Amino acid sequence: MSSIATNEKIPNNVSLASDRRLQRALEEWQPNFRKWWVEMGPDGFQEHDVWLRTAISADSDGWAHFDYVKMPDYRWGIFLADPVQDRTIGFGDDMGKPAWQEVPGEHRNALRRLIVTQGDTEPASVEQQRQLGLTCPSLYDLRNLFQVNVEEGRHLWAMVYLLHSHFGRDGREEAEALLERRSGNADNPRILGAFNAPMLDWLSFFMFTYFTDRDGKYQLLALAESAFDPLSRTTRFMLTEEAHHMFVGETGVQRVVERTAQHMRDQKDVEPRSVGLIDLPMVQRYINYWFSISLDLFGGEISSNAAQYFASGLKGRAHEERYDDHVALDPSFEMLVPKDGALVREAVPMRTAMNEVLRTSYVEDCQRGVDKWNKTIAELGVPFELTLPSSRFNRQVGLYAGLHFAPDGRALGAAEWEAKRGEFLPTDEDRAFLGSIMSRAVTEPGKMAHWIAAPKKGIKGKPVEFEYVRHD
């Protein structure tokens, strides 16, 4: 069991105090982080007391502490999962050799790049979500938003710790740059596409935490397999926090469709939208959008980068232990490749298909929540089914980028795509409508906005009507 220092300036279980240089470097980064948080974190709520979970250790039971805290005073710490004794590399060319405690020179650039890319998404999401508090549907939801935000802040700390402790001067520079890029900024944007998309309404927030945080889950699972042991340990602990983020998304969408389906059952002749409710075709358009831009986050279907990461042991597959062959040199992976206007089934060398392998596991995982949403709708007797669009739909990265496909995967001409776009993807009217029903914050304890059902229960044994966020 690693020893835990929670009363230091930076709570940690990595014996930070025994490495003065590193401690000093991180203590110098800390005020810059805090400045970024106050500037770019949740707008309008920095002085509020929020009932938050704080990681205080990496133990499987009792790793978190719940209490009121003002967000700028949140104790962002550095926690790595406990080491696995004599851990060896689990896949790729160096399978079976000891895992690395230090960065091998030949993999330094690639590893730094992976860590920076992972790190960049964390503050990006906080920036994307910074206005949402002002239109929260309840105090319960407001608290969940802030819980997600502070933990994404901690995930940034996790990557910055690796950069500072293992990448010397370049690492320190990268850590500064992580606080300088800005989501959606044309001159200095965040690295990956989806993290520059505006997020102005709560339907998007729930879709994001369901679909985009789940990309986080799969990327973290793949990095948890890494031969670079500190990366493996830190991502393993991050996954513990990630589960709640996806819960917020799954139950958020579920409560939206529950509210609408209830209305459809009770007042069949009254259009949901005419009474300020989010109609199910609109929910489908938001699924189509956030799912497709989250698929892009896995990179190209055929990727020499991915093959290289796998060969050298930097990044594996989610749950590598579930595969029989950890070398993956001989087999191939079949995919539909666009060729001369048609889709042709092609066998691609397995290692170059690793992004697609990971994306395939992700898609299966995404389907489970959609099934639950459909169950809610069916139980209310409403004949409507939500679906995940085809993985070819609306892609900007990889084999299908620049081509047009309908949500069912059918190829479309440019004109047909333009004509149907408004059926497939959120429209300006959708956005204006959501803006109109989400124009103010609902902050009376226990009260819910009209467009969403109450959650089944509160957080950590507290009732739904608990005052999760308060201001004195």
Which residues lie near ligand BYC (CB under 6 A)? 114, 117-118, 121-122, 125, 152, 192-193, 212-213, 215-216, 219, 296-300, 303, 305-306, 315, 355, 397
User: Of 408, 468, 418, nearest to 443 (Cα)?
Assistant: 468
Q: In the complex, what is the shortest distance from the CB of residue 264 to ligand BYC, in angstroms, rounded to a whole number?
A: 32
Q: In the complex, what is the shortest distance from the CB of residue 241 to Fe ion, in angstroms, rounded to a whole number?
A: 7
339 pairs with which residues across the strands? 342
Q: In the complex, what is the shortest distance from the CB of residue 388 to ligand BYC, in angstroms, rounded to a whole number?
A: 18
User: Of 391, 319, 387, nearest to 359 (Cα)?
Assistant: 391
- For residue 163, the one-letter residue type is L
- Record the tokens describing residue 188, joined without a space: 């200095």
Give which of Fe ion, ligand BYC, none residue 219 binds (C-beta under 5 to 8 Å, depending on kind).
ligand BYC
Q: In the complex, what is the shortest distance from the CB of residue 7 to ligand BYC, in angstroms, rounded to a whole number?
A: 29
Report the C-alpha gap between 252 and 206 in whole angstroms.
5
- Whichever of 233 and 245 has its CB closer to Fe ion, that residue is 245
Contact at 8 Å (CB) between 20 and 41?
A: no
> How much is the CA Rg of the chain, to the nearest whole Å?
23
Residues in contact with 254: Cβ distance below 8 Å, sequence separation at least 6, in sequence order: 369, 372, 373, 376
Alpha carbon distances (Å) from 345 to 78, 182, 348, 401: 46, 40, 10, 17
- Whichever of 291 and 466 has its CB closer to ligand BYC, that residue is 291
Give which of Fe ion, ligand BYC, none residue 193 binds (C-beta under 5 to 8 Å, depending on kind).
ligand BYC
Give which of ligand BYC, Fe ion, none residue 130 binds (C-beta under 5 to 8 Å, depending on kind).
none
Query: To which residue do tokens 């749950």 refer?
Result: 319
Report the C-alpha gap between 79 and 389 in whole angstroms.
37
Q: In the complex, what is the shortest distance from the CB of residue 176 to Fe ion, in angstroms, rounded to a whole number?
A: 20
Determine the longest span between alpha carbons in the chain, in angstroms. Answer: 69
Q: In the complex, what is the shortest distance from the CB of residue 353 to ligand BYC, in angstroms, rounded to a whole number?
A: 11
Give which of ligand BYC, Fe ion, none residue 285 binds (C-beta under 5 to 8 Å, depending on kind).
none
Out of 214, 245, 263, 404, the only residue in the binding site for Fe ion (CB under 5 A) is 245
Alpha carbon distances (Å) from 78 to 5, 50, 133, 156, 241: 10, 21, 27, 10, 13
- Whichever of 290 and 451 has its CB closer to ligand BYC, that residue is 290
Q: In the complex, what is the shortest distance from the CB of residue 71 to ligand BYC, in angstroms, rounded to a whole number?
A: 17
Q: In the complex, what is the shortest distance from the CB of residue 217 to Fe ion, in angstroms, rounded to a whole number?
A: 8
Give which of ligand BYC, Fe ion, none residue 260 binds (C-beta under 5 to 8 Å, depending on kind).
none
Q: CB nearest ligand BYC: which residue?
A: 299
- Whichever of 32 and 305 has its CB closer to ligand BYC, that residue is 305
Report the C-alpha gap between 245 and 227 in whole angstroms.
27
Residue 182 is a binding residue for Fe ion (CB under 5 A)? no
The count of residues interacting with Fe ion (CB under 5 A) is 7
Angle formed by the axes of helices 108-128 and 139-166, nearest 10°: 160
Alpha carbon distances (Å) from 240 to 38, 133, 233, 346, 355: 26, 24, 12, 37, 23
Binding mask 437-466 for Fe ion (x = CB under 5 A): ------------------------------
Q: In the complex, what is the shortest distance from the CB of residue 400 to ligand BYC, in angstroms, rounded to a whole number?
A: 12
Give which of Fe ion, ligand BYC, none residue 135 binds (C-beta under 5 to 8 Å, depending on kind).
none
Contact at 8 Å (CB) between 395 and 401?
A: yes
Give which of ligand BYC, Fe ion, none residue 255 binds (C-beta under 5 to 8 Å, depending on kind).
none
Give which of ligand BYC, Fe ion, none residue 225 binds (C-beta under 5 to 8 Å, depending on kind).
none
- Whichever of 19 and 320 has its CB closer to ligand BYC, that residue is 320
Query: To which residue do tokens 């906005």 refer?
Result: 449
Report the C-alpha gap between 54 and 33 in whole angstroms.
17
Q: In the complex, what is the shortest distance from the CB of residue 96 to Fe ion, in angstroms, rounded to a whole number?
A: 31
Give which of ligand BYC, Fe ion, none residue 141 binds (C-beta under 5 to 8 Å, depending on kind).
none
- Whichever of 241 and 279 has its CB closer to ligand BYC, that residue is 241
3-state secondary structure of 72: helix
64 pairs with which residues across the strands? 55
Q: In the complex, what is the shortest distance from the CB of residue 375 to ligand BYC, in angstroms, rounded to a whole number?
A: 26
Give which of Fe ion, ligand BYC, none residue 332 binds (C-beta under 5 to 8 Å, depending on kind).
none
- The beta-strand segments (E) located in 269-367 are 332-339, 342-349
Binding mask 132-171 for Fe ion (x = CB under 5 A): --------------------x--x----------------
Alpha carbon distances (Å) from 61 to 55, 57, 65, 244: 11, 9, 11, 16
Report the C-alpha gap between 293 and 396 in whole angstroms.
8
Give which of ligand BYC, Fe ion, none residue 254 binds (C-beta under 5 to 8 Å, depending on kind).
none
Half-sphere exposure of 132 (CA within 13 A, CB side): 28
- Whichever of 4 and 246 has its CB closer to ligand BYC, that residue is 246
What is the binding site for Fe ion (CB under 5 A)?
122, 152, 155, 213, 216, 242, 245
